[in-house]
Structure 1
Amino acid sequence: MSQSAILARPDALRRSIVLIVILGCQLMMTLDASIVTTALPHIQRELGFSDASLSWIQNAYVLVFGGLLLLGARAGDLLGRRRVFIAGVAVFTVASLMAGIAPTALVLVAARALQGFASAFAIPSTLALLVTTYPAPEERSRAIAVYSAVIGAAASVGIIVGGVFTQFLSWRWGLLINVPIGAAVLAWAPRVLPETERRRGRIDLPGALTITLGMSALVYGLVEAASAGWGSPSTLVPLAAAGVLIIGFVLVELRQEHPITPLRLFAHVQRSGAYLCRILIVGAMFSTFYFLSQYLQNVLGMSPLATGVAYIPITAMFFAMVYVVRYLAPRLSKAALLVAALGLAVVGMGWLSRIDVGTAYFPQILLPLLVLGIGQGIAIILLTDFGMADVDAADAGAASGLVNTAHQLGGSIGLALLTVVFGGAVHHEANPDVATVARGYAVVFQFAALFYVAALAVGALILLAQRRAVGRSTVTGAVARD
């Protein structure tokens, strides 16, 4: 079908096709962070990874992705979001092919790093393109809800898909599946995605350099903390460098005419709270998926396939929450709904933390996962909406970059912190018994529940700020009428 024929169709159909293209890219790139989780033992045996180097299959992707996200967002604002989106998808597709056929451990890690690089440029444009495609507030809220459900479910979908491929084919297909998806996205994107005009300006090189190095140092330091401990120089040096570089970034941005991240985006209480809250709940949930998949295999003895199937209910719950939010959001305060959702997540994670060596999947794991799915699913949708609240079209790319940066940082920070917690819970034993391992997972989930408690406190602040804003608006309106 030609581009002119597609554009001649009703706007609603064209917008739906745009949404499908964007979601295809978002799902492909977001689930890639978790799709190899169930396959790590198989990859280790086939490519000869050591225990220490195995984590770099994940870390190479996370480190580059997290470090370059804000730069990728700014590039889309200046060069055109569709152009940057297509370039990112093309590089990601090639990198996925490289990873899928990697003959050595070094090639696989390099390909994963290239995937992270491509994702950092493509993903910030997805949400920005969605916002410009759906200008009407009601339609935009529905589109963002679906987009958020895909993000929220991607980690569990990755585990499901990875488990199926590992069990029946090969772990390589978990990476190679991106090639046909990427090809389909590349075929449709030039036809249906709207292009944004190039903006006059230049890349804020000092800002780009300080934030990229700062984010990379932060993620690297957290990764090292999980393996070397918090007191190790390999942890302290990069974390200290990250602090200096991030402070330097703020100082640079205050003086830049065209900053890579306009600091005015943080002046809005809902947006700032949404970024922080997202870091907390993604940190809790991403880590839960990581450790729960190990609990199901290492303690309960489930196969990779059965482990993947165990995540289907919570994945379905994430997508079901799109319809729940669509029904409740117009009838309730979104901030109040967020607080209620986070309260449910606290309950679900606290319930899950009661596992032990004899826990059965049903009902002691399934039911808490369903409660978590409701709370997390609603919260992710609302936080994406809050993260883009009242954003000017010119700043849509930067705001999208911040939403995705918070998401990526949350996963990195949560996994690093809770890996340290797990090590302490099992007393860093080389070969702990099954009961000790199970207890370690329970402790991890207890700490993850504290992440949700902190997120609940942030949600309460967002609700308070919203009510104050409504109160001021009411007073102002009354004065104007008088």
Structure 2
Amino acid sequence: MVERRAAWTVIALCAAQFMLILDVVIINVAVPSIRQDLGLLDSRIQLTATAYTITFGSLLIISGRVGDLLGRKRLLLTGLTFFVAASLGAGAAQVDWHLFVSRGLQGVGAAMVSANALAAITASLAEGPARNWALGLWAAVSSAGAIAGQLVGGAITQFLGWRWIFFINIPVGLAVVAVLALLLRDTPATNRPRINLAGAFLLAGGLASGIMALTWLAEDGGRDRSLAAAITAFVLLASFALVERSESTPVLRYALLRLPGVRAANATLLLNAGALGATLFFLTLYLQIVLGYSPLAVGVAFAPITLLIMLLSPRAAKLVTRFGARRVLVSGLTVLAAGALLLARLPVHGDYWTDVLPGMLLLAIGSGLTYAPTYIAASSGVTAEDQGAASGLINSAQEIGAAVCLAMLALIATTAAGPGGSATSLAEGYRAGVLAAAALFAIGATIAVTVPRRLGQATEAEKVAS
């Protein structure tokens, strides 16, 4: 059982994560309104999203490591305050550059919070049923937050205006700061609180360049910029690897990747998050462009899978306690592949209830089953002083996987659709993209077989105690 203080701390940390993940997606529905109010050029629209994801994704590992060295509570509260202030700036933006800068600063705060929030959970709860429960709740908000953004963003934009998708973060963020300031137990700084600054800058720059390369890859006229960014990413990450080899306090201990659970969890989440995000992206476009749904209607269409994921993820953690992470993870990824295969037949004159919802429900079931065992495996066998780095690593796998797979699958969909932009050709492109996503889920299921069989499973004594 989890003591009351620990339970409320976990709930507050999960509320913070839900807010951060929501902000990755929530802006998508509001882009047309922002474009009109601020006069955004079409060539700069994507910066409303990428300014956040680049800083968020590239700083997660470093933020987790700094939390390991200097104490997580300090990083968490600083990051939340930073995120709230940047949200105020984004909501009050009067020109485009003000919005882009504020979104980038939101990502900085989000990285400080997300890596250290997950580390605070895994470091404070020993491996077993209590940690599995907490990570099941974390999995629910992490996976459902990205989908709920469609509904929340559509409703807020339609009834309150686009600025409130940022202003809503202020009361929520301040409430979480107050709760965590009272309840969260701090972790002492290590005896060697030295940070490898050269490695940190090289890693952040390499990851940021890689994310930009993938973002530009799918854009018209962006191939040259994508190639230049990819070369930059390769040089910086190669330099990072060389610098880390001679460091006594590395940003990322390579020993983490030798743990079979950590290695498999990061690989499967990279594929899972990317394939699922791309599939939902194609479904959003299919509902809006091919079937003619409004943004709010699209949000409502996604509501059932959001609810199902929220319900299933905590129960998936209990299944891990009983059967182990491998069985649950392989089962979930198999269901995801089946859902994607079902959706790969999207017709031009389709119907939501018969052509979309059944496949979406399978995606929800699969997603609800996979995220909890993934986070459990990603933290198993990791020492308390490395939980921040491990948390940053698994969160980075989620963010980078989304960028990698979306760019790759969008390219497949665009090629399959061909020129013209008719409903028929677009539907054909979406089908090709979703079919490729099914293949990625299947590869993930194959990798998941390498997770140790009893990882996450409760001992007989723990089963009796629970």
How would you bin the TM-score normalised by the shorter chain? over 0.9
Quote the residue 1:473 is aligned against.
none
Counterparts of 1:55 and 1:83, CA distance in 2 = 33
Quote the residue 2:164 is aligned against.
173
Quote the residue 1:223 is aligned against.
215
Cα shift readout 1:168-211 (whole Å, capped 9, x = no counterpart): 22122112111111110111111111100011231111210111
Quote the residue 2:284 is aligned against.
293
Deviation at 1:460, TM superposition (A): 2.4
Quote the residue 2:351 is aligned against.
360
Counterparts of 1:428 and 1:71, CA distance in 2 = 42
Cα shift readout 1:340-388 (whole Å, capped 9, x = no counterpart): 1111110001111110211111022111111111112211111111111
Quote the residue 1:383 is aligned against.
374
2:248 is aligned with what amino acid? E
Counterparts of 1:272 and 1:17, CA distance in 2 = 30
- The verdict on how the C-alpha distance between 1:234 and 1:206 changes in structure 2, with shifts beyond 3 A counting, is same
Cα shift readout 1:289-336 (whole Å, capped 9, x = no counterpart): 222222211121112221111111111121121343244223323212
SS of corresponding position for 1:87: helix
Quote the residue 1:19 is aligned against.
10
1:250 is aligned with what amino acid? A
Counterparts of 1:62 and 1:34, CA distance in 2 = 10
Deviation at 1:467, TM superposition (A): 8.0
Counterparts of 1:11 and 1:138, CA distance in 2 = 9
Quote the residue 1:202 is aligned against.
194
Cα shift readout 1:426-478 (whole Å, capped 9, x = no counterpart): 3254xx1222222222222112112112212211233xx5489x9xxxxxxxx
Residue range with higher mean Cα deviation, 255-264 or 321-330 = 321-330
Determine whether 1:434 maps to 2:423.
yes
- The verdict on how the C-alpha distance between 1:138 and 1:467 changes in structure 2, with shifts beyond 3 A counting, is closer
SS of corresponding position for 2:321: coil
Q: Are the counterparts in 1 of residues 70 and 193 from structure 2 also a CA contact under 8 Å?
A: no
1:224 is aligned with what amino acid? W
Which protein is bigger by CA-based radius of gyration?
1
Determine whether 1:273 maps to 2:268.
no
SS of corresponding position for 2:351: coil
Counterparts of 1:305 and 1:248, CA distance in 2 = 46
Q: Are the counterparts in 2 of residues 229 and 235 from structure 1 also a CA contact under 8 Å?
A: no
Determine whether 1:76 maps to 2:67.
yes
Q: Are the counterparts in 1 of residues 333 and 366 from structure 2 also a CA contact under 8 Å?
A: yes
Q: Which of 311, 330, 335 does residue 344 from structure 1 map onto?
A: 335
Quote the residue 1:474 is aligned against.
none
Residue range with higher mean Cα deviation, 105-114 or 325-334 = 325-334
Quote the residue 2:434 is aligned against.
445
SS of corresponding position for 1:417: helix
Determine whether 1:214 maps to 2:203.
no
Counterparts of 1:325 and 1:170, CA distance in 2 = 37
Counterparts of 2:322 and 2:71, CA distance in 1 = 37
Among all aligned residue pairs of Structure 1 and Structure 2, give the percentage whose two residues are the same amino acid. Answer: 33
Quote the residue 1:454 is aligned against.
443
Quote the residue 1:36 is aligned against.
27
**TM-score of the aligned structures, taking structure 1 as reference length:** 0.91
Counterparts of 1:55 and 1:419, CA distance in 2 = 15
Counterparts of 2:353 and 2:427, CA distance in 1 = 17
Determine whether 1:122 maps to 2:120.
no
Quote the residue 2:150 is aligned against.
159
SS of corresponding position for 2:122: helix
Residue range with higher mean Cα deviation, 255-264 or 319-328 = 319-328
1:453 is aligned with what amino acid? A
1:248 is aligned with what amino acid? S
**TM-score of the aligned structures, taking structure 2 as reference length:** 0.94
Counterparts of 1:417 and 1:26, CA distance in 2 = 27
- The verdict on how the C-alpha distance between 1:243 and 1:438 changes in structure 2, with shifts beyond 3 A counting, is same
Q: Are the counterparts in 2 of residues 34 and 158 from structure 1 also a CA contact under 8 Å?
A: yes
Determine whether 1:302 maps to 2:299.
no
Counterparts of 2:236 and 2:196, CA distance in 1 = 15
Counterparts of 2:142 and 2:23, CA distance in 1 = 11
Counterparts of 2:157 and 2:127, CA distance in 1 = 43
1:112 is aligned with what amino acid? R
What 5-or-longer segments of structure 2 have no aligned partner? Answer: 458-466
Q: Which of 99, 107, 114 does residue 98 from structure 2 map onto?
A: 107
SS of corresponding position for 2:345: coil
2:426 is aligned with what amino acid? V
Determine whether 1:416 maps to 2:407.
yes
- The verdict on how the C-alpha distance between 1:373 and 1:162 changes in structure 2, with shifts beyond 3 A counting, is same
Deviation at 1:228, TM superposition (A): 4.5
Deviation at 1:423, TM superposition (A): 2.3
Counterparts of 1:33 and 1:229, CA distance in 2 = 25
Counterparts of 1:327 and 1:188, CA distance in 2 = 27
Quote the residue 1:52 is aligned against.
43
Cα shift readout 1:389-416 (whole Å, capped 9, x = no counterpart): 1110000101000011101101111222
Q: How many residues align?
A: 455
Determine whether 1:248 maps to 2:239.
yes
